[in-house]
Amino acid sequence: MKMHQALPVATLVAAFALATGVPAFAENTHQHAAGEPARLVLDHGKKWATDEPLRRNMSEIRAALAAKAAAIHQGTLTPEDYQTLGILVEAHIASIVAECKLEPAADENLHLVVAELSAGADAMRGKSTATPAAGAAQAVGAVNRYGRYFQHPGWKPLD
């Protein structure tokens, strides 16, 4: 996945959303003038193609969040567990950035998912004003949006 200028803007939008409670990643078809999607969009009504590194890493992120879902919902996940979960998400984001090779339009849409995952990981690690639980919820939302916009056989959303 090629990272370029759009990621910092998306990260700032995510941080603003966390601080204000305003959803940052609404789903519509508005496009930036420079061609970068402002919101996640489908590929002419279809999900975007993925590659093996993306599917593998997103599956690992999903599995980690699913394993802690009950504790997150019950409010019993410890700060250390949130820290570990945030570190794991960040590690998989780094792998996606290093290994994933998508066509440019799919890559641009993936930047939005990655930015949201990154903001969630930051919150879980105590690196933002959002609570760790809010960060976990944001990461879950990003994982679910990934499944709605990207081809991933057998993908199931998180509750």
pLDDT for residue 159: 80
Report the alpha-carbon angle 61-147-20, nearest 5.
75
pLDDT for residue 21: 38
Does any domain span residue 34?
Answer: no
Q: Please give the residue range of the domain that contains residue 109.
A: 54-152
Does any domain span residue 23?
Answer: no
Separation between Cα atoms, residue 155 and residue 110, nearest integer Å: 16
Does any domain span residue 15?
Answer: no
Write down the residue that tokens 């930036």 correspond to. 32
Does any domain span residue 140?
Answer: yes
Q: What is the pLDDT of residues 144-153, one digit of tens each?
A: 999 999 999 9
Q: Give all strands (DSSP E) within 48-92, no chain letters.
A: none
pLDDT for residue 33: 36
For 119-134, the DSSP string reads HHHHHHTT-SSS-HHH
Q: What is the pLDDT of residues 96-143, one digit of tens each?
A: 999 999 999 999 999 999 999 999 999 999 999 999 999 999 999 999
* 3-state SS, residue 26: coil
Separation between Cα atoms, residue 159 and residue 149, nearest integer Å: 17
Q: What is the pTM of this model?
A: 0.77
Number of domains in the chain: 1
Query: What residues pair up with 93 in beta bridges, in sequence order?
Result: none
Does any domain span residue 46?
Answer: no
Instruction: Name the token pair of 136.
Output: 């976990």
Does any domain span residue 25?
Answer: no
HEC assignment per residue over 44-70: CCECECCCHHHHHHHHHHHHHHHHHHH
Does any domain span residue 48?
Answer: no
Instruction: Name the token pair of 62.
Output: 């999903």
Q: What is the pLDDT of residues 15-56, one digit of tens each?
A: 334 433 333 433 333 333 344 446 999 999 999 999 999 999
